[in-house]
Amino acid sequence: MPETVEKKIYQALTTKAQGVTIPAGWVIVLPGTTFTPAADSKYVSVEVHFNRPIDTDAVSQELPPIRQGFMRTNVMLPKGRAVIDGYDVAGTLCEAFKIGTKLYRDTVQVRIDEHPEIGPLITSGTHHTIPVTTRFFSYPQLPA
Domain residue limits, the chain: 5-52+64-138
Helix (H, G, I), strand (E, B) or coil at 109: strand
pLDDT at 144 over 60: no
Q: Is the pLDDT of residue 142 over 80?
A: no
Residue 6 near residue 50 (C-beta atoms within 8 A)? yes
CATH of span 5-52+64-138: 3.30.2000.20
Average pLDDT over residues 62-68: 87
Gap between the Cα atoms of 134 and 118, Å rounded: 9
d(CA 132, CA 92): 10
C-alpha–C-alpha distance, residues 104 and 57, integer Å:
24
Contacts of 20 (CB under 8 A, 6+ apart): 28, 92, 93, 96
pLDDT band with cut points at 50, 70 and 90 for residue 106: confident
- What is the Cα–Cα distance from 110 to 41, expressed in whole angstroms? 31
The secondary structure of 70-103 as a DSSP string is EEEEEEEEETTS-HHHHHHHHHHHHHHT-TT-EE
pTM of the full structure: 0.91
pLDDT, position 143 = 56
Residue 135 sits at φ, ψ, to 5 deg, of -85, 140
Which pLDDT value is given to residue 27?
96
